Every structure is written in structure tokens, then in C-alpha cells.
Structure 1
Amino acid sequence: MNFYRLFILSIVIISGASAKAQVSTVPVKMPVLGKNDTIRVASTNDNGEMIPWIPLNEVEIFAMRLFKSPADRAAFNRLRYNVMKVMPYALFAKRRYEQLERDLALTTEKKEQKKLVKQCDKEIKEMFNREIKELTITQGQILTKLIDRELGRTTYDIIKETKGGVTAFLYQSVARVVGHNLKSTYSPQEDRDIESIIVSSGFYQ
């Protein structure tokens, strides 16, 4: 059995060596360089001819949007302004809660976990008191949708997971009074105008 395995291994080694030894005999034709050709680029051997190439970044092209009326254009411009206003907050929440989840996964101590949640809650509240409290009702509604877009969970779900169901219920009750809904979800189809604004905004470049 050992001899059989050694025999098979020898065949594999010899086959590999033979494959490496098969060097192309086709003469390689290098491109003619000009005096200004000083940038090194990659190249591909295509049947003996070296073809230089460089990778290009993906370019997204968006068609110019046409509006039925000046009122529609103004409404879209207002929506774009509001989305651009709150998108940084949604991205901040995404990064902060993803960091919280990584930190919670590294410890099983309840005391330490509560400390991490409290610190995250404090940072979110500081941002709220500093900037988010100045948002309009419409901007707040868009923000709750974008948080669901970025985290895949509604604001209500996040509060429930970190602070408990009672706190989430109280927050939702207060939010409803001022015209918000922490359970708002995001749909790329239903919110296609918001989606098109985000895709063309450059936030993910």
C-alpha cells in the first residue's frame, strides 16, 4: 500500500515538473516604447505579443433626470437636500453599532456588556443633543429609514435589543407624538428616489 502511494506521488511530481518544463518557443514581441513612455504597466502575452494594459476604476453613468413640472423638480431637490443632510448620521450609527456588536462578541461578562451598551448609547445621545435634535420631522423620518437601510434593522429593533422592550415602547410612543415612527423600514423599490440619490451621492466611494 505504501509503495502504491509512493508510485502515485512520483507520477504527480513528474507530471508537475514536465508541465513547468514546457516553455513556449514563440518569440516574444515587446511593444516599441516612445521617449515619454516612462510609466510601468502590466502586460499580457498574447501568442508572443506583449499587450500592455492598466486597470480602470468602475464608472457609473446616470441619465439626466427629467421632471414633469418645476414643482416636481423642487420636490426632488428638497428630498436630495434632506437625504444628504441625514445620511452621515445613518452611516455613523452603522459604524457605531457594528463596533458595539464586535465588542459584545468579545466578552461574556454581563457587567462589561452593559458598560459597552451604555457607552454606545452615550455617544449616540451626544450626537443627538448636538446635531440631530435640529432635524425637521421629514429629515427624522428619512433618517429612520436610512438606519434600517444601513443596519438591516429598524431603530425600534436596535433600541429593543440594547435597552429592552419597555424602553423601545416608550421611545416609540414619544416618537409617534412628534410624527416619527421608529419601526419605519426601507425599500429600494418604494424609496427609489432616495436610493438613486444615495447611489449617485458618492458616500460609498
Structure 2
Amino acid sequence: MKYSRLFILIIVMFLGTAVKAQEAGTPPIWPKLGKNDTIRVAATNDNGYMIPWIGLQEVVIYGQRIWKSAADQAAYNRLKYNVLKVMPYALFAKRRYEQLERDLATVADKKEQKRLVKECDAEIKRMFNTEIKELTITQGQILTKLIDREVGRTTFDIVKQTKGGFAAFSYQLIARVVGHNLKSTYDASVDRDIESIIVSSGYYQN
């Protein structure tokens, strides 16, 4: 009885190997080409049949927005202007802090890490002193949201990480006096108009 089971197991294993060998040796079936089929494309083997395909770029279609009133359209246009005004600053902050994190990950010396943080902080301050200080309160509020969108952390968290908790608390107090909130977060479902403006702005097109 034991020998019969072993014999059956050997037969099953042999048949499985033979089937796999047969499948491996079977040439794939390609579609017939016409006289105008001259473009080389990729192909995928689907159960022995080669299916040609071409990768296409994403196409985003936007509907025509209908405004309830001229005032609503004017408000949207102001929002669009403000978003496009501060978006480059948010992208700059994203690139600069990503670079800082990469630099810190390769340096173990605490003194050198502090130097890198100060260097990054100085660049952000230079941008603030030359350009960002001219922003309106509304533009500043949008900027704090966009920094959270791009960096994945609020402005308060970034200051806390680089400058410490006391500095973050102090900056937040000053920001609140002039109508800002460094803890502002971004929610694409809530800030739908801002998200729509960013997506259609062309900043993320290759």
C-alpha cells in the first residue's frame, strides 16, 4: 500500500514536470501583422497569446465650471491668484527640507548636523525677508496649508524639529497676532478649490 502511494506520487510529479516542460517549449502565438504595422510596441504573454500594448500618458479632463454669480467667480479668481503666488514658496520649502533630511541622514556628527540645520534655516529666512514678508494675510494662510501639503508636516512641526519647541511656540504666538496659524493642515477634500487649482496649474507635469 505504501509503495503504491509512492508510485502514484512519482507519476504525478513526473506528469507535472512534463507539462511544464511542454508549456515552456511551446512558442507564443503572435498576432498577424498588416502592411502598415511598423511601430514596435511592448507585448504581454497572456496564456500563450502575445498581446501588444502601448503605454499612454494620463489625460485629465476638467468640466466646465458654472458659477452661481459673478461674485463667486471673482472670489475663485482671487483664490487662484493667491495659490499660484505662494505655490513656488511651498515647493521651495519642500525641496529644501528634503535636501536637509538627506544631508542629516548621512552625517552622524551633532555639530555638523546643527550647521546643516542653521544653513537651511538661513536660506528659508532669506526667502522670508526678501519675498514672503510681502505676502498678504490670506496668502500667508494659504502658504502654511500648502507647506503641509508638500512637506507632509505643518510649519509648526518643521520649526519645532529644526529650532526646538520653545522657538516653535514663540513663532506661533507671533503668527497668531498677524492672523496666521503655523499649525494649519491641508485637507484636499475640504480645500477642494485649492486642490483643483494646483492640479490644473501644471506644476506636476513632466
- Normalised by the length of structure 2, the TM-score is 0.81
Following the alignment from structure 1 to structure 2, what is the Cα–Cα distance between the partners of residues 123 and 17?
Answer: 68
- Is this contact kept in 2: 1:43–1:50, CA < 8 A? yes
**1:33 aligned to which of 15, 32, 35:** 35
Query: Partner letter of residue 31 of structure 1?
Result: L
SS at match of 2:57: coil
Q: Does 1:24 pair with 2:56?
A: no
SS at match of 2:63: coil
Aligned-partner residue type, residue 63 of structure 1: G
Spell out the pairing of 1:180-191 with structure 2 (5 A cutoff).
180-191=180-191
Which amino acid is the alignment partner of residue 190 of structure 1?
Answer: V
* Aligned-pair identity (%): 69
TM-score by length of 1: 0.81
Deviation per CA, 1:164-196: give whole Å up to 9, x if none: 122112222222222211111112222111112
In structure 1, the partner of 2:154 is: 154
**CA 1:45–1:131: 2 relative to 1, 3 Å:** same
Structure 2 matches for 1:190-201, cutoff 5 A? Answer: 190-201=190-201
| Unmatched tracts of structure 2, length 5 or more | 1-11
Distance 2:28 2:194 in 1: 56
Deviates most, 77-86 or 178-187: 178-187
* Distance in 1, Cα, partners of 2:60 & 2:53: 21
For the Cα contact (< 8 Å) 1:154–1:185, is it kept in 2?
yes
Q: Is 1:147–1:153's contact at 8 Å kept on the other side of the alignment?
A: yes
Please say if residues 27 and 48 of structure 1, whose CA atoms lie closer than 8 Å, have aligned partners that are also in contact: yes
Alpha-carbon separation, structure 1, partners of 2:188 and 2:75: 19
Q: Which runs of 5+ in 1 are unaligned?
A: 1-10
Question: Partners of 1:185 and 1:137 in 2: how far apart?
Answer: 16
| 8 Å contact kept, 2:104–2:116 | yes
SS at match of 1:63: coil
In structure 2, the CA distance between the partners of 1:20 and 1:153, relative to structure 1 (3 Å rule), is same
Is the Cα contact below 8 Å between 1:31 and 1:50 reproduced in 2? no
Q: How does 1:171-186 map to 2 (within 5 A)?
A: 171-186=171-186
Counterpart AA for 2:153: R
Query: How far did 1:58 drift?
Result: 1.6
